[in-house]
Structure formats: C-alpha cells, structure tokens
Amino acid sequence: MTTTVGQYLSARLGQIGLKHHFAVAGDFNLILLDELLAEGSTKQIYSCNELNCGYSAEGYGRANGAAAMIVTFSVGALSAMNAIGSAYAENVPVILISGAPNTNDHGSGHLLHHTLGNTNYGYQAEMMRHITCATEVIFSAENAPHQIDNAIRAALRERKPAYIEIPCNLANAACAAPGPVSSLLSEPAADQASLEAALEETGRFLYARDKVVLLVGSRMRASGIIDLLPALADRMGCAVTVMAAAKGFFPEDHPAYRGVYWGEVSSPGAQDLIEGADGVLCLGPIFNDYATVGWRATLNPENTLLADLQGITVNGRVFEGFSIRQYVEALTARAPRRAGSAETPRQPQPTIPTAARDARLTNDEMARQINALIDSNTTLTAETGDSWFNAVRMTLPGGAKVESEMQWGSIGWSVPAALGGALAAPDRRHVLMVGDGSFQLTAQEVAQMVRYELPIIIFLVNNHGYVIEIKIHDGPYNYIKNWDYAGLITAFNAKDGHGLGLRATTAGELAGAIEQAKANTNGPTLIECDLDRSDCTETLVKWGTKVAAANGRPPKVN
C-alpha cells in the first residue's frame, strides 16, 4: 500500500489524537495543505498570522496533549518561532510543519523568494534545532515516513515541540502507508533498578522528616498525571501547595490543599508552611526569577526532593531512567505516611466585598465577578500581567483549570491560546482575562473566534497601559494608544458573525454583561472592563518591586 507524504503526515496526526491542525497558507505549503484536506483525519483551522497560529497550537496542545501547525518557508516559520519558543519553555508538544523550496533548488545556485537573498536554504532548520527536540528535513519521499514518525515520537515523549520540513514537490509524492501508531504513543520502559533505588532513597528522605509537604509545579501539566496527585496526597497524609504557574493543578476543594506558594506573595499561610517544613517534595517545579520573586524565595536543598519529568534529585543523589509518571505511580503505592504538615489548618482566603451596582468598576470587583462565573467545567486563561495575580487569588471549584505562560511570558499569547483551547475542549466553558496592552499584539485572532463560532468570554482589562511593566520599571514606553475594544467586535462580525462586544464601567454593568455573555453561545463575547490605571492587585505591586530589584542588581566586580 502507498500514500503520499502529506497524507501520511495527516493520518499520523489523527492517529495521535488530534482533531484539528492550524495553518497559514503560503506558496511553499499549498500542495501540502491540499493533501491534509484530502486525507481528512484532522480539520484545518486557519489563523490570521503565523505567530497567532503557533500560540493557538500551543493552547490546543495544553488541552489535547499535542498539536500541529503548518506554515510556509522562512517568512512563515520565522514568524512562528516566538510561539515555538513558548511551547519549548512551557513543555507543550507542538509539531511545526513547514513547506519548503523544491528539492531541485538546493545546490542549484537559484535565488528564491521568501529567503535571505542567498542560496543557503538550510538556515531555517538550523534555527529550529535550538527550540525543538527533533528537527527533520525531508529530501526524499522514501525516507519521509521514518522522519515524520521520529519527529512525532520525540515530541510526545519529551513534551517539547518538533520540526518537520517538507519541500513543495514532495508533499504529494508517493510513500509507504502508515502502520499502527502504538510505537509513537508508548512510553519507554522504566529502568527498574534506577526506579527502585530512587524509591528507596525517597523513603529514607521521608522517614527522616516530620513535616513533609507537597509542592506542585507547572511542569506537571506535561506529566499527564495531574489527576493522580490527590491519591498521592491521600497516601502521604500531607498538605499540598501549588506554585503560581500550577494554579488549578491540584483540586482546591481537597482537604489537603493549602494554597499557592509564591514567596512573599503566597496565599495566606502557604509561605510559612513551605519554608517551615523539614521536607518538601517538589513535583515538576520551575524556579525562575518570577516564581521566586526575584530570587528571594529559595528552598533549602537538603530538605528538598526535586522530581522532574525524567528523574529525581534527593539527598544529594540523582536518579534517572524513568518518567515522573512511573515514579509517582510507584510512590503512591508505597510512600510512608507523613501527616505533620496536614495538621496545619488551611487559612481562609481574603474575601472581596460585593460592590454596589452603581459603583465605579474596580479590579477587585471585576475579579470577584469573574470568580463567581467559574465552575468545575471552566478553563480560565490568564495573560501575562495582573491577570496572573487575579487568577492566583481566585478560589476554584474542583475540575476548574487555569492556563498561564509564566516561563515564556510573551504578551499576547493568551488570545490565540484560548482559541486553541476552546477548539480542543469544546465541552468546557472558556474564560479569558487579558490586558489592553497584551491584547493589541494578537487581537485579530478574535476574528477567528467569530469565524468558528467559539463562545469564549473575554474580559479585556482596559487599564490604559502595560501596568505590570509600570510596576516593575516605569517609563513613557509603557503607555499605549487606547482602542474602542468593544467596538472591534462589530468589525470582526462583518455581515455574518455572532460575536458580542460590551463595555462595563460599573459593577452593575459588568454583572449584566456577564449574563449576556453566558447566553451568547454562537461566538465570543468581549467585555471591556474600564479600570483606573493605578487600580491593580496589591500582590502585583509587591512582586513587581522585588523583581525590579533583581533586574537592577549591579554587575559583580572580580
């Protein structure tokens, strides 16, 4: 049996669980797009530009476990690199496929459009090698199946993006048909000797400590075992906190939950709990400058067990050869009970009083009303900025999810990412919080929400500038031209759209807008929340001051 290179790729994407792929057309990928449409395993979703295409795929991959996107050579792929950098930093397996020049043009001396103006056409793949776990440049249809499988397998196993380059004259060239997909989806067997030694060392670490607490980090999304964490907490009998970028990764209605650990801006009681424990079991953490509030929140290595995606570090020893899934599953079956930290009562979260309906809309009242909207079937996407801090302070029912991008932190990510998430999980309610400055970078993707009738509820926080940057380091570059954000929806709707654009300046107007948004199921609803520029969470101000101090450290003198 034979197929074509493009249809082989299409079949494989469907076999690994994708129902959609994202695309921006260009002359080097048109035949490839035709082949994907002809095979039909996944629906083709179009993006306004390649950056948005990548962010949409990244959001889709978070909800679905993997994603794919197709762009054209150079002018397309280089534009997508920022989004691929995000997927790499955030551990999301996005498969980037780029159309490429005809194989006959390599080494011919031909000068092609969409290139750097020289005859070296390998520069794009060389760039991609730095931000992907596998880079495959296909030069023959015969080898294409092996190369496609290698890229997909690497992406799924390493939870990182992979790159496949397909010349325009090979997309419809004949190749072998795909066989079973099991080899791409299966996890490598654990090194049992190493795993057993790691569990024994973990036991020694835990038995030697009286107050043990679990700390859940953002890499646990990539582990695929978030649902197993309550069982581990129950087995160990200890308290659980999450890092800010892991908000929602542990059910907040579980009796062991004790809030968000974020150094000096932690939930009430969480900092004392973590920093006062004599044993912290860290699962998939990222300790960067943002997570540590400018390197001020650091844990004692002697009292810390660090479990990453492909191994653990405990008692000064490193154990590898198994995944965090294999480790947590085994630990849940045999971990000793260490209940000291669970005896620490959960401290109540500060409540926000309800504002009068005619009161000027504030950040606190906006956050309170958004929190009331969130149920167990809601995914909240929070943009870089004060939306992080508003999301972190919310109380979530079990089953609610939060998506943020705290490692890469590229503003504008959230709008297309929410689109991707909504396509991947259409049975959930999708809520987006995004600031006005961030929104201006990727606003056009709301038009695609209209196109695909996605009922995403967008809270556009119009505080007239880059408030997070103002709090870190102020300057004239932090102030932007104001838009009629709610009015954009009319333009995006044109003659056939069902988007809804609303504006709220009071508490009552916001409450009314939310009710309209809940009833609008045939397109997005954008609610422009008009806030005073100085109105933001207290934690943002405190955190921003500390991060600014870390950024401003003078050079070391030798």
Report the run of H or E that residue 136 belongs to, with start and end: strand 135-137
d(CA 372, CA 369): 5
How do residues 306-358 score in pLDDT, each as one tens digit?
Answer: 999 999 999 999 999 999 999 999 999 999 887 777 777 888 888 999 999 99
Q: Is there a binding annotation on residue 465?
A: yes
Task: Find how far residue 504's CA is from the centre of its chain.
Answer: 29
Q: Is there a binding annotation on residue 54?
A: no
pLDDT category at 237 given cuts 50, 70, 90 is: very high
Give one DSSP letter per residue of 11-75, joined into a string: HHHHHTT-SEEEE---TTTHHHHHHHHHH-SSEEEE-SSHHHHHHHHHHHHHHHS-EEEEE-TTT
pLDDT category at 517 given cuts 50, 70, 90 is: very high
Q: Is there a binding annotation on residue 436?
A: yes
Q: The pTM is what?
A: 0.96
How do residues 93-115 score in pLDDT, each as one tens digit?
Answer: 999 999 999 999 888 888 988 98
CA trace torsion 175, 177, 178, 180 (10° rounding): -150
d(CA 309, CA 292): 20
The domains found in the chain, sorted by start residue, are 2-183 (3.40.50.970), 192-333 (3.40.50.1220), 363-545 (3.40.50.970)
For the beta carbon of residue 310, count every other beta carbon within 10 angstroms: 15
pLDDT category at 152 given cuts 50, 70, 90 is: very high
How do residues 345-400 score in pLDDT, each as one tens digit?
Answer: 888 888 999 999 999 999 999 999 999 999 999 999 999 989 999 999 999 999 99
Whether 455 has a pLDDT exceeding 90, the answer reads yes
Q: Are 451 and 523 in contact (CB under 8 A)?
A: no
